[in-house]
Structure 1
């Protein structure tokens, strides 16, 4: 079973200079400036996650030259909260696209969702031989009452979606393998304490504050033990490399042959450290794109891939890795051959 990417397209919020918007989000201006972002993308208040997903999906279908009626599977990957609760955002996106004959599925594993979704499609293709074409959409819209774009994470958060048309037997940008490591011991880090069944919203309850910084949440989860924090940081680095090595072994590709790795749109310092851990130049990651786009949750890798394909920077036959770390925790790698 093989499949490849026939087309990639995207829909993004409006570009906004970080320096101009930062004072309205945080008082830690020096900290945000040190991250190295120039621009982030913010959708209008009346634009929802599925609006972005639907627009990106339509653009990808148009670019591939096929209609929604040709699609057998729609997979929506997301990392934030959609427009409504008790509501299937994947099914809504399928209907709005007009892909009524397609199965609709949702993948929601934080920032790793977009990378993990490739494995989900591979599984569906393997167990449903009649499925020929799939539409994978990664979408992100910051739910601002619960997430501060410049304080709740270690990156400036953006709104947008990217979509890929995946075709069985297609040889360009072909899927080779996906590997995932999960460690639920860290699942409670950064969770929103209210709004779920354990502590539902009520009319007389105080308005919940946005999720706090992840470094503070992790310290609290680990009981303030500096040794435990150092151990986690080492594990994080180790797992990021391990999922890539495992994907290479599964695909039968030598690890050193993978010179292009698209990670999350993190800070420039973070991407520099990540590149050093993998033994590649920072320019061979998505670092050149991150500063002008911001962090789109689970969308970063597919968006970066689409931008690089459009610019012609990727060589045919070149192995390429999409990697991610998502709260939960999950470390994921999808290996492609351009």
Structure 2
């Protein structure tokens, strides 16, 4: 009987993004860091990144991205009753940066909180918001990934400081009911999340209120992270697609975390995905951590690549280690 009931799904009503005004090329970076355009491009595929100025914060970028997503959805802040904001670089230790966005967009009630899962943060936030919508805790949600990662970089460590940038991306989610005989329902069809704290030391920040009382800097063992990323991302994408009866041939677009062009290439090859199905923005934005997936999604929606009805796989891996994927019909 239950198999024939309508199914409520969280659908993406609008997307938005925001970038700091300052855009920095590899050449400009090489004036202050012992590196070169050739070295960065060859190893990462990165050409540019945006760096937040003194008046640009995680909350201001998140707010701008949220407003753009609301505009795209034809809604206002008053129409939203849930904000889940993924970030590793909050404005303050507390309160949650989501509450700053809540006030800025004119949302006066509802629920607002942050999620910390670093580069996987947006996938975690999306999954949490989806669950809360489908269980009736909220009707419309803003899911945001926003970072000012350049604030926590060690600019003497050329192996990490060239990899990251700042930015924000957002989606508005609302519930839509699909009939059981709909063979192409819109919305979030499945999510899959993982974490393995045994690999903490591969990618972390060496500070925090409880340990050092300082903000700390990013530390990374790049080679080991690369190895885990290729294996974990390929596995989690299969885990999220197979129960739906999907193969890589069914997917219109993969919207991956933009960490490194080599990881994107290796993951696509492992899954037998043609490169033209992978949305790549790492060359323009570098690694924006939790902002990466929604920023890439909004870029591809606005330039016309991703169209209504397209089947997407979103995926990411970050410090923790954490990783996850989602299948979404846009």
> Same fold per TM (> 0.5)?
yes
Give 1:322's aligned residue.
314
Look up the SS of the partner of 1:169 in the other structure.
Answer: strand
Give 2:5's aligned residue.
none
Partner residue of 2:284 out of 273, 282, 292: 292
**Unaligned 5+ residue runs, structure 2?**
1-7, 179-184
Is residue 13–residue 158 contact of structure 1 (8 Å, CA) maintained in 2?
no
Partner residue of 1:276 out of 258, 265, 269: 269
Partner residue of 1:81 out of 77, 84, 89: 89
Q: Measure, in 2, the Cα distance between the counterparts of 1:237 and 1:98.
A: 41
Give 2:50's aligned residue.
41
Give 1:105's aligned residue.
113
Look up the SS of the partner of 2:204 in the other structure.
Answer: coil
Q: Measure, in 1, the Cα distance between the counterparts of 2:149 and 2:135.
A: 34
Alignment CA distance shift 1:245-1:160 (3 Å): same
Alignment CA distance shift 1:209-1:132 (3 Å): closer
Is residue 150–residue 164 contact of structure 2 (8 Å, CA) maintained in 1?
no
Deviations 1:214-237 (A, max 9, x none): 33xx7xxxxxxxxxx5xx865543
Deviations 1:174-204 (A, max 9, x none): 1111101211101233333344323334xxx
Q: Measure, in 2, the Cα distance between the counterparts of 1:48 and 1:149.
A: 23
Give 1:266's aligned residue.
259
1:57-68 aligned within 5 A: 57-68=66-77
Partner residue of 1:124 out of 119, 132, 144: 132
Give 1:251's aligned residue.
244
Look up the SS of the partner of 1:46 in the other structure.
Answer: coil
Deviations 1:63-113 (A, max 9, x none): 2211211111111111x3222223321122212221112210211101000
Q: Measure, in 2, the Cα distance between the counterparts of 1:304 and 1:272.
A: 16
Give 1:226's aligned residue.
none
2:206 corresponds to 1:199: no
Q: Taking structure 2 as the reference length, what is the TM-score of the superposition?
A: 0.86
Deviations 1:15-59 (A, max 9, x none): 524233222552132532323322211221221100111111112
Q: Measure, in 1, the Cα distance between the counterparts of 2:151 and 2:212.
A: 20
Deviations 1:314-337 (A, max 9, x none): 354332101001110112101111
Is residue 204–residue 320 contact of structure 2 (8 Å, CA) maintained in 1?
no
Deviates more, 1:109-118 or 1:32-41: 32-41
Q: CA deviation at 1:146?
A: 4.3
Deviations 1:145-168 (A, max 9, x none): 544497363863121111111111
**Unaligned 5+ residue runs, structure 1?**
202-207, 219-228
Look up the SS of the partner of 2:118 in the other structure.
Answer: coil
Provide the aligned C-alpha RMSD in A: 2.6
Number of aligned residue pairs: 315
Alignment CA distance shift 1:81-1:315 (3 Å): closer
Give 2:148's aligned residue.
141
Q: Taking structure 1 as the reference length, what is the TM-score of the superposition?
A: 0.84
